[in-house]
Structure 1
Amino acid sequence: MMRVAIVDDEPLARLAVKVRLARHADMDVVAEFGDGDTAAAGLPAVRPDLVFVDVEMPGKSGLDLLAALPRAQRPMTILLTAHDNFAVRAFDLAALDYLLKPVDDERLDEALDRARLALPYRGPVGAAPAAWTRSFAVRVGTRTVIVDAADVERIEADGDYATLHAGGKTWLVRERLQALALRLDPARFQRVHRSSIVRLDVIAELRALTNRDALLRLRDGTLLRASRTYMPALTEALARRSHPPHLSNIA
């Protein structure tokens, strides 16, 4: 059972998260806090495994709250935000995931799966580095081909399977896209849509759309749509790169 706390100044927002968590038998909501100051005092006593934190709150913000907690007392964190952009500083606080309000059920499930995978590796000073997937074993007829993860530019969902795109070739793997997303290093790969994952260094341009989605242009000319529910994590991951892609707006 995973102990969960919720920090949000909006009662309805806290309720929405609680209702969704109630569908997961291994999630136990042990505390709620309506502001950052109260949470900063209460979290060390409650000692949750996982905390949902609203980024923008009156007084102490969600990021200020996390920074105020000693590293040894900082639980796994899923940030909640009503906006597409917030401080890159969140990455320095080792946030596990970022959910855009109103929270999408599938994105919440993905974030909880990420927390379940990370929990066994957590020690007294936080999570140990995960063993990210470095290669894929792909069956081609009677042969097994090894495809390096570093060579994969993007991955597309194909029902219960996924298609790897690498060096102009495609490879079908017998695994769902959601499962693959949890095993890939988020510093190198990001899910941008329900149906696609992209390697960050192949993104040449990101064009913001008026509905808060975005259009990605990859270095080979491929165009992909990035859904608004995946934009917070994507934009922050790109911002951390030494040479982020060009960002433009489409009116």
Structure 2
Amino acid sequence: MKIRVIVVDDEPLARLAVKVRLARRGAFELVGEFGDGPSAYEGIVALKPDLVFVDVEMPGKTGLDVLAALPPAQRPMAILLTAYDSFAVQAFELAALDYLLKPVDDERLDEALDRAQQAYPYRGRGRAAASTMPAVRSFSVRIGSRTVLVPVADVERIEADGDYATLHANGKTWMVRERLRNLAMQLDPRQFHRVHRSSIVRLDMIAELRSLTNRDALLRLRDGSVLRASRSYMPALAEALRHLDEQPE
């Protein structure tokens, strides 16, 4: 099941830039585009997308106005598009997954889409689709001439190390030649979540979450480790923690 997307921006070229990049990601399907707030509101209500890219500053009804006018239960995942960073507080008050500064570069847009894929199983139709999402069961780790299989169930957290990633499992560390972004897409998002550009954590390892003044958070894990969770990952992480008891079949 694909993630259904609407793009809202009063600039046709800005909509085109998002659509071209979106077409490269097979997990997403564009179902509509709108150039102003009132038509965007009607389109969201009618089409019920899973995700909306919405420009903050539009004539008349702004992107924030459109989202705020929707009841929370009907509000899709949102990624805000803006030329300024002064809308961060409103973005997170509306539980937006991310906000991207224009002009949007490919890496940042890919990060935002990755975040949407992680959050999708906890939103509406995504929950029903979650049980069909493929997830890796073990990692193959090369140690000299040997190949060791590290069960995913044993992995507690994963940290980026350039083109490699370090697996922390049962008190041991294992190095795999894989970027963190690729690993995040292989793991079951009901069990693992990316909490920072440099780390992924198994949700049931989180013992305490402490909010910081800049809307980041500190996570204390059950093994005593402390990780920083970036504010841009917090909405999806909070949603995942709320559904932690919904174990995969």
The residue number in structure 2 matching 1:112 is 113
Q: How many angstroms does 1:17 deviate by?
A: 6.9
Distance 1:17 1:84 in 2: 23
C-alpha contact (below 8 Å) 2:98/2:112 kept by paired residues: no
Q: How many angstroms does 1:84 deviate by?
A: 4.2
Kindly indicate whether residue 214 of structure 2 is the aligned counterpart of residue 215 of structure 1.
no
The residue number in structure 1 matching 2:33 is 31
Distance 2:14 2:204 in 1: 34
Alignment of 1:42-81 (within 5 A): 42-43=46-47, 51-52=52-53, 57-61=67-71, 63-64=73-74, 78-80=77-79
Pick one of 176, 194, 197 that aligns with 2:179.
176
Distance 2:136 2:16 in 1: 33
Secondary structure in 2 aligned to 1:185? coil
Query: Quick one: structure 1 residues 115 and 165, their matched pair in 2 at CA, closer, same or farther if it must change by over 3 Å?
Result: same
The residue number in structure 2 matching 1:6 is 7
Query: Quick one: structure 1 residues 210 and 58, their matched pair in 2 at CA, closer, same or farther if it must change by over 3 Å?
Result: closer
Alignment of 1:1-251 (within 5 A): 4-6=5-7, 18=15, 21=18, 24=21, 26=23, 30-32=32-34, 34-35=37-38, 37-40=41-44, 42-43=46-47, 51-52=52-53, 57-61=67-71, 63-64=73-74, 78-80=77-79, 82-84=90-92, 99-102=97-100, 106=107, 108-112=109-113, 127=129, 129-242=132-245
With the length of structure 2 as denominator, give the TM-score of the two structures: 0.67
Q: Which blocks of at least 5 consecutive residues in structure 1 are unaligned?
A: 67-77, 88-97, 119-125, 244-251
> What is the identity, as a one-letter code, of the residue corresponding to 1:31?
E
Q: Could you give the per-residue CA deviations for residues 185-232 of structure 1, whole angstroms, max 9, x where no partner exists?
A: 111000010000000001110100000000111111111111011111
C-alpha contact (below 8 Å) 2:51/2:78 kept by paired residues: no
Q: Could you give the per-residue CA deviations for residues 93-121 of structure 1, whole angstroms, max 9, x where no partner exists?
A: xxxxx6233568645303435889x9xxx
Distance 1:57 1:25 in 2: 21
Secondary structure in 2 aligned to 1:187? coil
Give the number of aligned pairs. 208
C-alpha contact (below 8 Å) 2:157/2:168 kept by paired residues: yes
C-alpha contact (below 8 Å) 2:52/2:79 kept by paired residues: no
Q: How many angstroms does 1:21 deviate by?
A: 1.6
Distance 1:101 1:15 in 2: 19
Q: Could you give the per-residue CA deviations for residues 128-184 of structure 1, whole angstroms, max 9, x where no partner exists?
A: 711111110111111110101110000000100100000010001111000001111
Q: How many angstroms does 1:39 deviate by?
A: 1.4
C-alpha contact (below 8 Å) 1:107/1:229 kept by paired residues: no
Distance 1:17 1:240 in 2: 35
Distance 1:16 1:193 in 2: 31
Query: Quick one: structure 1 residues 101 and 222, their matched pair in 2 at CA, closer, same or farther if it must change by over 3 Å?
Result: same
Q: How many angstroms does 1:242 deviate by?
A: 3.6
Distance 2:70 2:98 in 1: 20
Distance 1:34 1:62 in 2: 18
Distance 2:231 2:173 in 1: 27
Distance 1:100 1:216 in 2: 20
Q: Could you give the per-residue CA deviations for residues 1-52 of structure 1, whole angstroms, max 9, x where no partner exists?
A: x985225xxx57x8897376266272678512625651146538xxx89644
> What is the identity, as a one-letter code, of the residue corresponding to 2:33?
A
Query: Quick one: structure 1 residues 149 and 86, their matched pair in 2 at CA, closer, same or farther if it must change by over 3 Å?
Result: farther
Q: CA RMSD in A?
A: 3.9
C-alpha contact (below 8 Å) 2:216/2:234 kept by paired residues: yes
In percent, how many aligned pairs have the same letter? Answer: 54
Secondary structure in 1 aligned to 2:42? helix
